[in-house]
Structure 1
Amino acid sequence: RDAPDVIKAAGIELLLVDQASPEGGTIADYLDIPYVTVCSALMLNREMSVPPFSTSWNYDPSWRGLLRNRVGYALLSLMGKSLENVINDYRQQWNLSPYDNVNQYSSQLAQLSHQPAEFEFPRTELPSCFHFTGPYSNPASREPAPFPYEKLTGQPLIYASMGTLQNRLLWIFQMIADACVGLDAQLVIALGGGATPESLPELPGNTLVVGYAPQLELLQKATLTITHAGMNTTLESLSNGVPMVAIPITNDQPGVAARIAWTGTGEVIPLKKLSVEKLQKAIKLVLTEDSYKKNALRLQEAIKLAGGVSRAADIIEQVVATGKPVLG
């Protein structure tokens, strides 16, 4: 309601719209300015051969898989109907044609995903203006995080982070520490601001616990990441060729975890099935089976070739200069 006036007053000539903010395209259409869709999490483009983003379902193009996906998308559509109605009400008020398909929320000029194509299930129906550019990590944009590097032992480093939002399940960190007992490795736990190191009981071994960690720097040293399968930590691990053990919790994390399993870059343990025994088994498997590291290195190379933020910026500038779709 208020966004058009604010955007006009600021003299904005193009919008970058998060794909998870479906109202953004309607605002751009009303203002008659171009917009580019940016998939800041797992891409949301619907395609019946690909499971809904919020599920842990594996890729299965058989009739059973397609039927399963169709039911999943029907449920998502039902859950999102009220939002669709609100958006279409505004489109009607503003003399814009209504949406009848959620894929219409995304730009027809350019859609950018920070996934590399190799970290996505097979796709056949993406628009020609869709681009897999790879991640946009920028170390310079992050606040420095002090870290006791002098306490690192030189053993293989296992980095555990459950993100900065869904990180208050402290029992998971206790379980991770218990699962690492007896391994020739050092565990570093980053709590992500959800708690303080003092809120955890004394953990076994030479575990280091910090509130925030210099994640990009530690991943350069890591042998394994234990993660909630948030897209940022996942892509940053793969950018460093680090395989993972994923414990997805919510939102798009089950879908990200499904892609970790599909690409062979890690093992996945659903939260409801998590135990010290299963976690220890998965950690040992990823540490000792060469295929996980090889696949992580394969994805690292794919990310390097995807172009990253420079390619994304070039595409956006081309939209600004031409006002036409930028084809992949």
Structure 2
Amino acid sequence: MARILVVSLPFAGHVGPTAAVAAELVRRGHDVTGYTGAKYRGRFESVGARWLQWRAAKDYDDARLADTFPRVGDGKGIRANLANFTDILLGTAPGQLADIAAAGPFDLIVTDQLAFGGGLAGEKLGVPWATVAVIPLTLPSRDLPPLGLPVRPATGRLTRWRNTALWQPIKLAGRLTVDPRVARMRAAAGLGPAAVPGPDGLYSPHLVLAQGVPGLDYPRGDQPAHVHYVGRLAAPAGPPGDLPSWWPELAAARAAGRPVVHVTQGTLDVDPDDLLRPTLEALAGSPALVVCTTGGPPADVLGTLPANARAAAFLPHDHLLPLVDVVVSNAGWGGTLAAVAAGVPMVVAGATLDKPEVARRVAWSGTGVDLRTGTPGAARLRSAVTQVLGDPRMRERAAELGAKLAAAGGVTRAADLLEGLRR
């Protein structure tokens, strides 16, 4: 039995995969501690792990980020993205290191890729450590353009040269801005320069557990040997819990040949004017049954619903998605993996953080339509949903990649690799 620390930023999309890995490690008899914010304490304790509180690291509620980090504001735009990186990701890392060092010793640290303090602790304490990629891999590759550019992966020598040229100004900007901050953070922890510059140097050099599979994520001909795609990291589906009274309408709609469209904005960007209300407007009066989740706010925040729409704050995806024909979302990676795992094609509208990158992967993989905006109008949404419903190739492709996600092993494969790192 090993004493294992699982580190997660207190965001729902980060806690889901890390808590699932923790549950599998507990099932195998390891002594597991989950280190995350107070809001998600129960997610780790409910699977039999201990909980380590954020003390030196500034804790926060992911639904109210601006209360703790005012510069994040409404989470939209370049300034908000920069504040998210500097104030939350970099800003809380030294406190994470202090909390982990005070709670040790541990035999193994498993850290969310964006919880930078977990990796620093692994280095500082001389403990084997692994990274869990909760968003698509950001590791640079000769086959890929820089993050944020709407350019597809390289297909030959010319496009690799293109990528090399595109990377040069990005690397220069990183050397002037990100690298000094990371270097100061490492120096304050008593660590020397990173082997790899920038935030990518905070991936584990021992083991990276990447969610997804090639074909959904971009191919990398130079992928390091310690990077492993493990599919979707999620706990096995349990009982659905309390369901709304209208739940039987889902099966009835499918039986009657009516399409079921699920629209969600996840749990972070939950302004209903971005996607929920435009989708309701787009599909009002159509044959579809539209099922909305608000990601936290009460369902009545949407006001009076069209006759063909139903809403709830949350619904169990593992039970909902098999009854759905199309998912409309803002391209969170966890939700995208869940949709593909269920073989459901998508319409995605991503604008913040990693979401445009996820949206581009959805379109590139053939599993859906990327609207290339976070605030699409009703007409574009109606056209995209109609396109997906009318193109069986997208559902077939989602089913194909869903089977590959399952075959990649999920938490079972992840735990095997982690136990191998200990040997």
TM-score, reference length from structure 2: 0.69
Q: Using the TM superposition, name which of 272-281 and 69-78 deviates more.
A: 69-78
Matched residue, 1:83: 181
> CA–CA distance in 2 between the matches of 1:302 and 1:218?
21
Compared with structure 1, are the counterparts of its residues 44 and 77 closer, same or farther at alpha carbon in structure 2 (3 Å cutoff)? farther
> 1:145·1:212 contact (CA, 8 Å) conserved in 2?
no
> CA–CA distance in 2 between the matches of 1:242 and 1:110?
31
> CA–CA distance in 2 between the matches of 1:56 and 1:196?
35
> CA–CA distance in 1 between the matches of 2:174 and 2:326?
34
Q: CA deviation at 1:65?
A: 4.7
The reply on whether 1:146 has 2:239 as its aligned counterpart is: no
> CA–CA distance in 2 between the matches of 1:216 and 1:239?
9
Q: CA deviation at 1:281?
A: 1.0
Query: Could you say which structure has the greater relative contact order, defined with CA pairs below 8 angstroms and 6 or more residues apart?
Result: 1
Q: 1:252 aligns with which of 354, 368, 384?
A: 354
The reply on whether 1:228 has 2:228 as its aligned counterpart is: no
Identity %: 25
Matched residue, 1:22: 116
Please state whether the residue corresponding to 1:25 is helix, strand or coil. Answer: helix
Q: 1:105 aligns with which of 189, 192, 202?
A: 202
Structure 1: gaps (5+ residues): 322-328
1:167-223 residue CA offsets vs partner (Å, 9 max, x unmatched): 114352121012223433210000011x32222232323100111112221101111
> CA–CA distance in 2 between the matches of 1:272 and 1:112?
29
Structure 2: gaps (5+ residues): 1-93
The reply on whether 1:67 has 2:165 as its aligned counterpart is: yes
Q: Name the amino acid aligned to 2:355.
A: Q
Matched residue, 1:239: 341
Q: CA deviation at 1:29?
A: 1.5
Matched residue, 1:129: 226
> CA–CA distance in 1 between the matches of 2:218 and 2:412?
24
Compared with structure 1, are the counterparts of its residues 297 and 76 closer, same or farther at alpha carbon in structure 2 (3 Å cutoff)? farther
Please state whether the residue corresponding to 1:216 is helix, strand or coil. Answer: helix
Deviating 4+ runs (over 6 angstroms): none
Q: Using the TM superposition, name which of 125-134 and 67-76 deviates more.
A: 67-76
Let me know the Cα RMSD of the aligned residues. 2.4
Compared with structure 1, are the counterparts of its residues 167 and 57 closer, same or farther at alpha carbon in structure 2 (3 Å cutoff)? farther
Matched residue, 1:173: 276
Number of matched pairs? 318
> CA–CA distance in 2 between the matches of 1:37 and 1:206?
43
Q: Name the amino acid aligned to 2:265.
A: M
> 1:42·1:53 contact (CA, 8 Å) conserved in 2?
no
Matched residue, 1:201: 303
The reply on whether 1:297 has 2:399 as its aligned counterpart is: yes
1:136-164 residue CA offsets vs partner (Å, 9 max, x unmatched): 11155898453231343413211111100
Compared with structure 1, are the counterparts of its residues 37 and 140 closer, same or farther at alpha carbon in structure 2 (3 Å cutoff)? same
The reply on whether 1:306 has 2:408 as its aligned counterpart is: yes
